[in-house]
Amino acid sequence: MNKVLVTGGAGYIGSHTCIELLHSGVDVVVVDNLSNSNLKALERVESITGKSITFYEVDIRNVEEMDKVFVAHSFYAVIHFAGLKAVGESVAQPLKYFDNNIYGTQVLLQTMKKHEIFNLVFSSSATVYGEPASVPITEGFPLSAVNPYGRSKLVIEDMLRDLNVSDSRWNAILLRYFNPAGAHVSGLIGEDPQDIPNNLMPYISQVAVGKLEYLSVYGGDYDTHDGTGVRDYIHVVDLAKGHLCALEKLKSNPGVVPYNLGTGIGYSVLDMLAAFEQAAECKIPYQIVDRRAGDTAICYADVSLTKADLGWQAVLGIEEMTGDGWRWQSQNPKGYED
Q: Which range of residues in 14-22, 94-102, 198-206, 321-329 is near ligand UFG by CB under 6 A?
A: 198-206
Q: Which range of residues in 35-43, 140-148, 158-166, 264-272 is near ligand NAD by CB under 6 A?
A: 35-43
Helix (H, G, I), strand (E, B) or coil at 147: coil
Catalytic residue among 12, 56, 97, 149: 149
Closest CA to 292 of 206, 213, 229: 229
Least distance (Å) from ligand UFG to the CB of residue 233?
8
Residue in 163, 200, 240, 280 binding ligand UFG, rule: CB under 6 A: 200
Nearest-angstrom CA–CA distance, 97 and 90: 6
Encode 207-243: b = buried (16+ Cβ within 10 Å), e = exposed: bbbeebeebbbbbbebebeebbbbbbbbbbbbbbbbb
Residue in 4, 5, 6, 13 binding ligand NAD, rule: CB under 6 A: 13
Strand segments (E) across 9-125: 27-32, 54-57, 77-80, 119-125
What mask, x for binding ligand UFG by CB under 6 A, covers residues 63 to 102?
Answer: ----------------------x-x---------------
| Contact predicate 284/211, CB 8 Å | no
Residue in 82, 126, 246, 250 binding ligand UFG, rule: CB under 6 A: 126
Check residue 203 for interaction with ligand UFG (CB under 6 A): yes
Residue in 177, 222, 300, 312 binding ligand NAD, rule: CB under 6 A: 177
Query: CB under 5 to 8 A by kind: which of ligand NAD, ligand UFG, none does 203 bind?
Result: ligand UFG
Residue in 26, 69, 78, 83 binding ligand NAD, rule: CB under 6 A: 83
Check residue 197 for interaction with ligand NAD (CB under 6 A): no
Least distance (Å) from ligand UFG to the CB of residue 17?
16
| Contact predicate 32/7, CB 8 Å | yes
As beta bridge partners, residue 129 has 144
**If you ran DSSP here, which 8-state letter would residue 233 be given?**
E
Check residue 20 for interaction with ligand NAD (CB under 6 A): no
Check residue 267 for interaction with ligand UFG (CB under 6 A): no
Of residues 154-193, those binding ligand UFG (CB under 6 A): 177-179
> Is 149 designated active site?
yes
**If you ran DSSP here, which 8-state letter would residue 98 be given?**
I
| Contact predicate 338/171, CB 8 Å | no
Check residue 12 for interaction with ligand NAD (CB under 6 A): yes
Nearest-angstrom CA–CA distance, 286 and 225: 18
Active site residues: 149
